Amino acid sequence: MQFEQLKTSTGQTMEGPLLMTPRCFGDDRGWFFESWNRRSFDEAVGETVVFSQDNHSRSIQGVLRGLHYQLAPEPQAKLVRATVGAIYDVAVDIRRGSPTFGSWVGAELSAENKSQLWIPEGFAHGFLTLSSVAEVQYKARGFWNKSCERAIVWNDADLAIAWPIERLEGAEVSLSGKDAEASGFQAAASAGDVFP
């Protein structure tokens, strides 16, 4: 398994999120890869991670889910991968004390590249479905808790996330009602709905 820190749009390395790419062994019969190994994962992230639940979603092209996060007392960390199709996955640093507060990183995750993105607590998360359909599976540390759940609008001007909308082949961005009505980044920060 290869682990890589990602850079923000300004070229700054962001502490926290890690792109994980497995070694895949294949021949004319098919392929095999180790999708997760607790020992190497814990070593890469620098702590022992105990996952609480696994989630699985299916989305059609253009569906954008996010930017979601949970505050204390039930923050969530996620290890995200696409097992069918392709997505553009984004993590936004919402840790007020971080040098990259308000910055984002993104990576394409697909069934083909088999990469995963580790998104620790303190980050908002969202993804855009690039393929005709995508299935996304993720392990979560921390249980879902509606009262802790928050969202930041996907196209916030202050965040200026470079979503690859040109890859949608004419499909429109599709949002849930909750995501369409999410607050902006500055409003969330002013309300204290970020991490210290």
Query: Which member of 68, 69, 88, 125 is catalytic?
Result: 68
Q: Is 17 left (phi over 0), alpha (psi -120 to 50) or beta?
A: beta
DSSP string, 63-78: BEEEEEEE-TTS--EE
Work out the number of other CB atoms within 10 angstroms of the CB of residue 112: 11
Pairwise CA distance, residues 140 & 187, whole Å: 26
Pairwise CA distance, residues 82 & 116, whole Å? 8
Round to whole Å and give the CA distance between 88 and 82: 10
56 is catalytic: no
Tokens of 148: 């802790």
88 is catalytic: no
Q: Round to whole Å and give the CA distance between 9 and 6.
A: 10
List the alpha helices (DSSP H) in 92-133. none
> Which contiguous run of DSSP H or E holds residue 40?
helix 38-45
Q: List the catalytic residues.
A: 68, 138
